Amino acid sequence: MILAIDIGNTNIVVGCIDDEKTYFIERLSTVRTKTELEYAVDLKTVLDIYHIKKTDIEGCIISSVVPQITDIARLAAEKILKKEVMVLGPGVKTGLNIMMDNPGQLGADMVADAVAGLASYPVPFIVIDMGTATTVSVVNDKKQYIGGMILPGVGVSLDALTSRASQLSGISIDAPKHIIGKNTIECMKSGVLYSNAAALDGIVERIEEELGQRTTVIATGGLAKKIVSHCKREIILDEDLLLKGLRVIYEKNK
């Protein structure tokens, strides 16, 4: 098995995975002031909780959209595993044909999602990754990554709403009893959930219009589970997608 780490703006996703199954997925808070030792303690604690020995782990790969802590996390993982850690970036083979104006600008998380999609789902496909930002990746029927979208994440939208409206307080992102809210909390929950679900439905519809083809749609990320069930369009929920992509990339480069 390998240790796969995805560093996002809000959370660090940590998991152990091999070609047969995912052994666990956990989330740590992304803290830019933490030291190498503090992250090493976090990683060791997670492995200990799941009774995974460092000798059971063949290697490690990291994807990151937070450059300030990428190297700190790499050194932390190397301190625990006593092995060289791979970082997804320039020089790492992915097998992904990126048809962007500047392929180097494509986030490592979006690369890993698309690689996993190619390994597991028919083309053309759309990957929706719902984290701090909601990212949309499009791979066409020639297996080319042709582009996508980036929009404010569910949590970001909710934080903006509550910080700018003095009468609105923070809420949990749970399904309300009614689409038409009967009180302020229900109205906010309904607005957040169904606006995002409708946005995904509309985005998929418009992308398919531009492609002229129907697509496979896959959703992943920490908030996908709460939103996808409210979409009218059939969307496959794959919470392990990014880690699967990191495993495929690791195998291509080991």
Look up 109 and say whether it is catalytic. yes
Q: In 85-124, where does DSSP find H-type helix? A: 108-120
Would you say 196 is a known binding-site residue? no
* The 97-98 sheet, strands edge to edge: 97-98, 144-152, 133-139, 125-130, 216-220, 236-237
Task: Single out the residue of 12, 33, 14, 15 nearest to residue 23, CA to CA.
Answer: 15
Would you say 110 is a known binding-site residue? yes
- Residue 151 forms beta bridges with which residues? 134
Task: Single out the residue of 62, 59, 89 nearest to residue 74, CA to CA.
Answer: 62
Would you say 13 is a known binding-site residue? yes
CA dihedral 37, 43, 49, 52 (to 10 degrees): -120
CA geometry: angle 138, 144, 149, nearest 5 deg: 25
Would you say 227 is a known binding-site residue? no
Q: In the chain, where does DSSP find H-type helix? A: 36-49, 67-81, 108-120, 154-164, 184-211, 224-228, 241-253
Helix (H, G, I), strand (E, B) or coil at 93: coil
The secondary structure element, H or E, covering residue 130 is: strand 125-130
Give the contacts of 251 (CB within 8 A, at least 6 positions apart). 19
Candidates 109, 113, 238, 240; catalytic one:
109
Would you say 129 is a known binding-site residue? yes
Are residues 97 and 108 in contact, defined by beta-carbon separation less than 8 angstroms? no
Would you say 207 is a known binding-site residue? no
Would you say 9 is a known binding-site residue? yes
Would you say 101 is a known binding-site residue? no
For tokens 């492609």, what's the residue? 211
Would you say 33 is a known binding-site residue? no
Write out the binding residues.
6-13, 107-110, 129, 132, 184
Write out the binding residues for substrate.
107-110, 184
**Catalytic residue ranges:** 109
Write out the binding residues for ATP.
6-13, 132
Write out the binding residues for K(+).
129
